[in-house]
Amino acid sequence: MIIALAGKGGVGKSTISSQLIRLLSRDGVVLAVDADPNSNLCDKLGMEPLGSVGELRNDIVNNPDIVPAGISKQEYVANHVRQIISEEGNVDLLVMGRPQGQGCYCFVNGVMKDCLAKIIPVYDNVVIDNEAGMEHLSRKTLPRTDAIVFVSDPTRTGIKTASRLSGIVDEVSIDAGRRILVINNVAGPADSLLSYAAELGFEDVFLMPHDEYIVRSAVESECLDIPSDTEFGKALAVLAESLTGK
């Protein structure tokens, strides 16, 4: 199951991604893809990145001699991508890193895409924490998804933004699978937001409550492990169940 999370900054993508990764990792190995250069997914998971796809790509573009004679770029990338994946328990972490700089990236992007397309299906579940612009999805560096979870704050403006992002997915014709709207950080009645979401065409909508545990925890630590018996933990379990069908 390949699940991508998308939404504007600060709506809770990394919070939900990290907890979904923790939950799914109880059943098998999960590939956590940090596709937001400004993200803190690693910190929330308490993991150390070992490098990034962006650094690897820049190394090859800026210093082609880095690839030893007799080894194809394909082989070089395949070996090195494996080396930058950090592992802890049932979670493997892949960091995409900064977007590309100046220079000719087409070839290396193609190589990278092929390499990721081989790695990703090996995992039981893949969770991709995207940045607001969804660069890796729209450039198709990352493959098709089974579900995209658009995360919004509990405002009409947020839901409109999520709908716009869903429109971008249509424009770049990503094979997205199921589209889900998660309205996060809900602290009051949500009926009006739910009808607005329905008006904008979202049929699959989940609410995640505002959780004081998350607020308190963020003061004490960057790592986040929300207990399953909190309201947020229960809502997350409902979302995970719907996503995986388990």
Ligand X SMILES: Nc1ncnc2c1ncn2[C@@H]1O[C@H](COP(=O)(O)OP(=O)(O)O)[C@@H](O)[C@H]1O
Residues near Mg ion, by CB under 5 A: 13-14, 36, 39
Q: Is 238 in the site for ligand X (CB under 6 A)?
A: no
153 binds, among Mg ion, ligand X, none (CB under 5 to 8 A by kind): none
> For ligand X, which stretch binds (CB under 6 A), given 5-13, 23-31, 87-95, 135-143?
5-13
Q: Is 15 in the site for ligand X (CB under 6 A)?
A: yes
Q: At what angle do helices 53-62 and 73-84 cross, to 10 degrees?
A: 150
Q: Contacting ligand X (CB under 6 A), which of 9, 103, 121, 167?
A: 9
Q: Count Cβ atoms below 10 Å from residue 37 Cβ, excluding itself.
A: 14
Residues in contact with 234: Cβ distance below 8 Å, sequence separation at least 6, in sequence order = 228
Q: Is 10 in the site for ligand X (CB under 6 A)?
A: yes
**CB-neighbour burial class of residue 188 (10 A; exposed 0-12, middle 13-18, buried 19+):** exposed
Q: Which of 98, 108, 149 is nearest to 128 (CA)?
A: 149
Q: Is 179 in the site for ligand X (CB under 6 A)?
A: no
CA pair distance 215, 222, nearest whole angstrom: 11
Site for ligand X in 197-236 (CB under 6 A): 208, 210-211, 214-215, 218, 232
Contact present, 47 and 88 (Cβ < 8 Å): yes
Q: Is 161 in the site for ligand X (CB under 6 A)?
A: no
Find tokens 């969770």 and name the residue.
127
- Tell me how many residues contact ligand X (CB under 6 A): 17
At closest approach, how far in Å is the CB of 39 from Mg ion? 4
At closest approach, how far in Å is the CB of 138 from ligand X? 18
